[in-house]
Amino acid sequence: MGGEVSGGALRLDRTPLRVWVARPLPAGARTAALVSDLGHAPLLAPVLDLGLSHAPPPDGVFDALILTSANAVPALESAGLIHLTAFCVGARTAQAARAAGLPDVRQGEGDAAALAGHVAAVLPVGARLLHAAGRERKPEPAASLAAAGYAVTAWVAYAARPVASLPEPVAAALAEGRLDAVLHYSRRSAATALGLARAAGCDEAFARLAHLCLSEDCAAPLVGAGIQSHLVAAQPTEDALLAALAPASPAQGGSRLDGKRC
């Protein structure tokens, strides 16, 4: 099983670390900047490309939006949906919704299942909800809301497509032993990175990395592949995930992770 990443769960010895940020753009660029601010060396190389689906929203009148990713927000204005109350899974999604001009944004704590309870505390049973999401989405919060009597309609607002091959800078860094860790933000991203590494013949080097995962679900493809060097954030937030990357000490040389790996 994966260990928990918290402020002291993973000790850093001899930094800076060389960290592969496999997260799609534009979020990946923000994450790479945070890694750099901690004094480490990010390698930004997404394994998924994000784009709007350009699918029209379903017909009907809706009482509110459910947003489980900031990636859905750019599709709202062209669809004429920015007037609706938006229930957002976490701070990043809520920030994007406010920036897009949505007038009433309700922020969750980063957990999709808990978001269902947040909705139920505000809206009456039977309310009509539009879940603007990606093509691949998890059951929550729609499953809990539907079970509680809410009418939830899914709209594929964006889609993530795997890149054709392992990014060349990553392949080179793996071959030369120039990577220490990789950040995984979704189950699909982790599975895609694993598959691309296998296809490139870099699976053994990939398995030796420290795999920092946002959640147990995110880590599942790695567990299934027998990769033991994975850690799971204590909470499904970026702050909790990056807690493993303590600020680097400029007085220390070299680069490696040393500590708890399960």
DSSP track, 141-176: THHHHHHTT-EEEEEEEEEEEE-SS--HHHHHHHHT
Quick one: pLDDT band at residue 53, thresholds 50, 70, 90?
Answer: very high
Mean pLDDT score, 196-225? 95
pLDDT tens for each residue of 67-115: 999 999 999 988 999 999 999 999 989 999 999 999 999 999 888 889 9
CB 210 within 8 A of CB 197: no
Give pLDDT, residue 8.
36
The pLDDT score that the predictor gives to residue 252 is 41
Q: Identify the pLDDT of residue 2.
A: 42
Q: Nearest to residue 81, comparing CAs of 101, 99, 95?
A: 101
Evaluate if residue 157 carries a pLDDT over 50.
yes
pLDDT above 90 (res 124): yes
Q: Which tops the pLDDT comparison, 230 or 252?
A: 230
Give the mean pLDDT of 181-185: 96
Instruction: Pick 29 or 3 by higher pLDDT.
Output: 29
Examine domains 18-47+163-244 and 51-161 and report if their fold is the same.
yes
**Residue 246's pLDDT band (boundaries 50, 70, 90)?**
confident
* 110, 90 Cβ separation under 8 angstroms: yes
Which CATH code is given to the segment(s) 51-161?
Answer: 3.40.50.10090
pLDDT at 42 over 90: yes
Mean pLDDT, the chain, whole residue set: 88
Q: What is the mean pLDDT of residues 226-240?
A: 88
What is the token pair recorded at 25? Answer: 């753009």
The answer, yes or no, to whether residue 179 has pLDDT greater than 70, is: yes
Report pLDDT for 99.
96
Range with the poorest average pLDDT among 64-73, 132-141, 148-157, 170-179: 132-141
Percent of the chain with pLDDT over 70: 88
Q: CA 10 to CA 120: how far, in whole Å?
A: 38
On the question of pLDDT at 145 being above 90, the answer is: yes
Residues 65, 150: contact at Cβ < 8 Å?
A: no
- What integer is the mean pLDDT of 132-153? 94
Q: Where are the domains of the chain?
A: 18-47+163-244, 51-161
- pLDDT on residue 9: 39
pLDDT of residue 248 exceeding 70, the answer is no
Q: How many angstroms separate the Cα of 148 from the Cα of each of 19, 129, 137, 151, 236? A: 42, 13, 20, 9, 24
144-154: average pLDDT = 97
The domain 18-47+163-244 is classified under which CATH number: 3.40.50.10090, 2.30.140.10, 3.40.30.10, 3.40.50.970?
Answer: 3.40.50.10090
DSSP string of 207-246, one letter each residue: HHSEEEESSHHHHHHHHHTT---EEEESSSSHHHHHTTSP
